[in-house]
A and B are shown apart, each in its own frame.
Chain A
Amino acid sequence: DAGITQSPRYKITETGRQVTLMCHQTWSHSYMFWYRQDLGHGLRLIYYSAAADITDKGEVPDGYVVSRSKTENFPLTLESATRSQTSVYFCASKDRAYEQYFGPGTRLTVT
C-alpha cells in the first residue's frame, strides 16, 4: 500500500535492551523524520534525514541512532533502552512540494 508505515505498532522491552523501530514510505520523499510524543511536551524531533546517507540531530537525539541507506527506509535504534525512552514514536516524510505526512506511531514501553 502507498503511504508511510511504522512497525511494530506496539513494543514492550526491558531496560538495557536494543530495540529498532522501523519506518517505510512509498512516495520516495527526500526528507524523513523521527519524533517522540510525551505528555506535556508535544512532539519533539529526535533525528531527521534530508536524503539517503544524510542524517542530522534534532532536539532530543541522545540515546538514539538512525541510518538511511535507502530513501524509503529510516530505522530508529535505541542502543540501550531506558525507562525515559518510554514514549510514542512518530515517523514522518516530506518532499519540497508537500508538508509532512506522519506514520501511525509506535507505542514503546521500557520496563
Chain B
Amino acid sequence: AQTVTQSQPEMSVQEAETVTLSCTYDTSESDYYLFWYKQPPSRQMILVIRQEAYKQQNATENRFSVNFQKAAKSFSLKISDSQLGDAAMYFCAYRSGETGFQKLVFGTGTRLLVSP
C-alpha cells in the first residue's frame, strides 16, 4: 500500500520569505501523481499543484513550485514571497496512475504559520 509522510507538523515563515514543506512517499508503482492541497481556516480543500511522475520537469504555479525527486521518493513544496494568505494546513497526497484508480492517499499535514 502506498504511504505519504509529512514529517513537519508545523512550519513558520515571515512575509516575503521563502519556505519549503517536505513530503516523502512510498510506492512500488512507476505511474502516479502527486499533489499539494491547501486547507485554510475555512476548511475548504484547495488544490495547489500537481506533478505527474513521468514528467521530469518540476511543476510550478505562480509562487508555488515543487522539487520532485523520483528516485528519493521526495516531493517538497516551495512557497516563494510568502503572504499572510498562505497561512494554512498543507497536505501532500498521492494517486496511482492505474486506470480507474482515483483514490487519494494523504499525509498528515503541515501547518504553515506566516508572520508579518
A-to-B contact residues, CB < 8 Å: 31, 33, 35, 40-45, 48, 50, 58, 88, 90, 92, 94, 99-100, 102, 104-105
Contact = CB atoms under 8 A, between A and B. Distances in A.
Nearest to B99: A96
29 contacts: A33-B103, A33-B104, A35-B106, A40-B108, A41-B108, A42-B4, A42-B6, A42-B107, A42-B108, A42-B109, A43-B45, A43-B104, A44-B106, A45-B105, A48-B102, A50-B100, A50-B102, A88-B43, A99-B35, A99-B47, A100-B47, A100-B102, A102-B44, A102-B45, A104-B42, A104-B43, A104-B44, A105-B43, A105-B44
Given A99-B47, A102-B44, A31 B102 contact: yes
Interface in B53-86: none
Question: Closest 5 interchain pairs by CB?
Answer: A102-B45, A42-B106, A43-B106, A42-B108, A105-B43
B contact face: mostly helix, strand, loop, or mixed: loop
Contact of B104 (A41, A100, A105): A100
Contacts of B104: 33, 43, 45, 100
A90 B104 CA distance: 13
Contacts of B91: 42-43
B103 A48 contact: yes
Contact of A94 (B35, B43, B50, B102): B102
B78 to A, nearest CB: 20
Contacts of A35: 106
Contacts, number: 43
Interface of B: 4, 6, 35, 42-45, 47, 50, 91, 100, 102-109
Contacts of A42: 4, 6, 91, 106-109
Given A41-B108, A99-B50, A104-B43, 4 more contacts: A45-B104, A88-B43, A92-B45, A102-B45
